[in-house]
């Protein structure tokens, strides 16, 4: 890239110096003419002309008018002549200085001030972490190139800033998801522990029942351990890996009923469960399925008045689960936002992070499914999801 700013500066200086020379010549001519007219007042003009003509005939040149002593001049003529002599001697330096000063001032105002102001303001905004602006300076010179580079730097900083905040938000989501999805297994374990403490001291439990409860406690413990290992190995929710395996329909329904029973006792609600699953073996990730199911049941139990209804159905390669409560249903704004992260309904407690349905939606989509919420005829809230199984 050629130095266009230097070329432009030379142009300004050449123009100013040219104008300074022209003005100097004009002023010198006027000053000398006035000075000559003043001197002619104090000489014998016929003799002067005779002398000049003779001199010219001999030497081919016209002699200058003899310098008149200032003592014989009138005061006014003396002052005017001195001014003219001063102007004639110093006008070149004066006009050169003024021309250079004006040309540099104009050059700064037209070529430097705007980009310097733009870059200074941009630097101040970047220093304040404000990247919501755009640097625009459409001039094809070094400062225009510098502004373009500065704009690219701002865009890169904005991009990195967005990436950083996305990473922070993803980590926040992961922490919230971890905290959220630990609640239900812990609730189930707490329910079984309370069940044992209530009936075991009075010998009201058979050995088979005790072993069954301990087996469920071990299952929930393994789920928590597996979930913690998963959370340590991923950075974002969308990195969760689905590990499908063949699951017996009866085992799936038994675990679902266990979750319903424990949460119904916790919230003191009733439930109905219906199954229309015709296929005996399902191909899915049981742990992820139970996470989705537990979140939906926990939400339904919290907002139900008396009871909830759960239905299972199966169509070719698709397991569908619907959960309906008899509560107030979703408000219009909730229908739009309830599956977004960190959204809290009006009755959500401080222990809820607003991540439940968002996590369910993410996990359904990871399994080729979908989740939808709406208010069915007759009142209440209706949440339905399906996954490929």
Global pTM value: 0.48
| Strand stretches in the chain, DSSP E | 245-248, 270-276, 281-284, 307-315, 318-325, 370-374, 382-388
CB neighbour list of residue 80: distance below 8 Å, 6 or more residues apart: 34, 38
Q: What is the pLDDT of residues 370-385, one digit of tens each?
A: 999 999 998 899 999 9
pLDDT 10s per residue in the chain (389 long)? 457 888 889 999 999 999 999 999 999 999 988 988 887 777 666 665 666 666 665 665 655 666 777 777 788 888 998 899 899 899 999 999 999 999 999 999 988 999 999 999 988 988 888 888 888 888 888 888 888 898 999 888 888 888 777 766 766 666 666 666 666 677 778 888 888 888 888 888 888 888 888 888 887 787 777 666 655 544 555 667 788 999 999 999 999 998 899 899 888 999 999 999 988 999 999 988 998 998 899 889 999 999 999 999 998 889 999 999 999 998 888 888 888 765 555 554 434 444 578 888 888 998 999 999 999 998 899 999 999 98
Q: Specify the 3-state DSSP secondary structure of 348.
A: coil
Rounded Cα gap, residues 174 and 169, in angstroms: 9
- Could you give phi then psi for residue 246, rounded to 5 degrees? -75, 125
CATH class of the domain whose range is 168-388: alpha beta
DSSP 309: E
SS3 268: coil
| Domains of the chain by residue range | 4-130, 168-388
Place of tokens 């100097």: 24
Query: Does an H or E element contain 34, and which?
Result: helix 4-40
Cβ proximity of 310 and 256 under 8 Å? yes
């Amino acid at each position: 890239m050629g130095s266009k700013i230097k070329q432009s500066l030379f142009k300004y200086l050449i123009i100013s110096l040219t104008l300074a020379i022209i003005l100097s010549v004009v002023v010198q001519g006027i000053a000398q003419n006035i000075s000559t007219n003043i001197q002619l007042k104090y000489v014998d003009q016929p003799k002067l002309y005779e002398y000049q003509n003779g001199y010219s005939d001999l030497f081919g040149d016209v002699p200058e008018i003899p310098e008149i002593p200032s003592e014989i001049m009138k005061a006014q003529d003396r002052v005017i002549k001195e001014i003219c002599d001063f102007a004639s001697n110093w006008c070149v330096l004066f006009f050169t200085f003024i021309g250079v000063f004006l040309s540099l001032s104009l050059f700064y105002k037209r070529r430097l001030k705007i980009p310097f102001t733009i870059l200074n303001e941009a630097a101040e905004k970047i220093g304040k972490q404000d990247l919501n602006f755009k640097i625009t300076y459409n001039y094809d010179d070094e400062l225009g190139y510098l502004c373009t580079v500065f704009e690219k730097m701002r865009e890169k900083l904005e991009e990195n800033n967005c990436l950083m905040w996305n990473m922070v938000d993803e980590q926040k989501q992961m922490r919230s998801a971890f905290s959220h999805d630990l609640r239900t297994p812990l609730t189930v374990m707490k329910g079984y522990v309370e069940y044992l403490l209530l009936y075991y001291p009075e010998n009201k439990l058979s050995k088979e029942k005790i072993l069954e409860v301990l087996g469920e406690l071990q299952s929930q413990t393994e789920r928590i351990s597996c979930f913690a290992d998963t959370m340590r190995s991923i950075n974002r929710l969308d990195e969760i890996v689905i590990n499908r395996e063949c699951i017996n329909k009866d085992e799936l329904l038994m675990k679902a009923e266990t979750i319903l029973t424990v949460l119904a006792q916790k919230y003191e609600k009733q439930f109905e469960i219906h199954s229309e699953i015709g296929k005996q073996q399902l191909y899915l990730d049981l742990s992820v399925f139970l996470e989705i199911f537990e979140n939906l049941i926990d939400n339904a139990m919290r907002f139900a008045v008396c009871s909830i209804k759960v239905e299972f159905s199966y169509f070719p390669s698709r397991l569908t689960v619907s959960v309906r409560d008899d509560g107030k249903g979703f408000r219009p704004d909730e229908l739009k936002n309830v599956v977004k992260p960190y959204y809290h309904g009006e009755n959500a407690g401080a222990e809820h992070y607003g991540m439940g349905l968002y996590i369910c939606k993410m996990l359904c989509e990871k399994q080729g499914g979908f989740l939808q919420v709406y208010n069915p005829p007759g009142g209440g809230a209706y949440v339905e999801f399906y996954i490929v199984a």
